[in-house]
Amino acid sequence: MPLKTYPRNPDGTYGPTNRNDYYRSKEDHRKNARQSFKHGKQIKTRWCIKESEEYHVFKIANEPYWFCRENNCLFGFIFENGRLLELGENGECLAKFPNDRNELDPWHGYPVFSERDENRPSSDLLDELDEKKIISYEYRIKIERGFI
C-alpha cells in the first residue's frame, strides 16, 4: 500500500476521516524544523514523509481505530511487502497520534521508536493487530520488546 497524498483544507487541516476526525501537521515535527537535542537525545522527532502523506498514516490508524488505552493515543504504521515503512528521519517506523486535544480539535502526530513505554502500542493492541494479520509476527515481537 503506497503512501497517498491528500489535499489540505483551507484551514490547514486534512480530512475528515470516516470517523469525522481531522488532522493537522505540526511544523515542529517537519523536516525543516530546527533540530533540538537534550543530552544527545533528539527532543522532537521529524517526519521523513510529505506533510500530505502524514494524513494517510493518520487515516489508516484512525478509521479502524488502533487506539491504545494505556497511552491514550492512536498508533499508525504502514506495513507493505512484509516491511514497515520508515516514517521518521532517524528510521522511526511508528507514528503516535496523542489524544491530548479538545474533542473537536484536529489530531496531530509524530514518528516514534517503540523504546519507551509511552511510545509503544500496548500488548492488547498488538495482539489485535497480530490476530487480524495487520502486522507480521516478526515486527510485533520487536515492537513489543522496544527494538523498532
Partner 1 sequence: MKPLKISIRVSIPIQDGYLYAGNLFVVFKDGTLRTIPINNIIQKRFGSDDEKFNFFNLAFLRNNWFSNDQSKSFFAIPNFEKALSKNWMQNRDDAGIIIDLSENDFSVLHELPTLPIFDIRLFGMRLFVGNRDGLYDSGISVDSNTGKVSSRDSLERVFDGRTTYLNSKTDTLLISSNSEGLFHGNLPEINRRLHVGNNAIRPKSLRTGWSQHNVVNYESQSHFNLLSVEQEHIQERTYMYSSFDEDSKKIKITEIGHNSSDMFDALASHTNLIDNIRFAFNAPKSCYFLLNNGKFVNIFFNKYKENFRLSPRIKDVLQEDSNLLPKSKIISANIIRDGCVLEYEDRVILVQNGQETILEKFPVYSVRTYPTSIRYKNIVSIVDRYGISLYSVYPFK
Site for partner 1, rule CB under 8 A = 37, 39-41, 82-84, 86, 90-91, 93, 113, 115-117, 123, 136-142, 144-148
What distance in Å separates the CA atoms of residue 55 and residue 97, rounded to the nearest whole number?
11
Minimum Å distance from CB 43 to partner 1? 12
- Our CB check for partner 1 shows the closer of 28 and 138 to be 138
Minimum Å distance from CB 66 to partner 1? 19
Residues 6+ apart with CB under 8 A from 110: 26, 29, 44, 45, 46, 47, 88, 95, 96
Minimum Å distance from CB 40 to partner 1? 5
Minimum Å distance from CB 32 to partner 1? 18
- Our CB check for partner 1 shows the closer of 74 and 148 to be 148
Take residue 58 and report the three cell numbers written for it: 493518520
- Our CB check for partner 1 shows the closer of 60 and 93 to be 93
- Our CB check for partner 1 shows the closer of 10 and 39 to be 39
Q: State CA 65 to chain mean position distance.
A: 12
Minimum Å distance from CB 70 to partner 1? 12
- Our CB check for partner 1 shows the closer of 24 and 125 to be 125
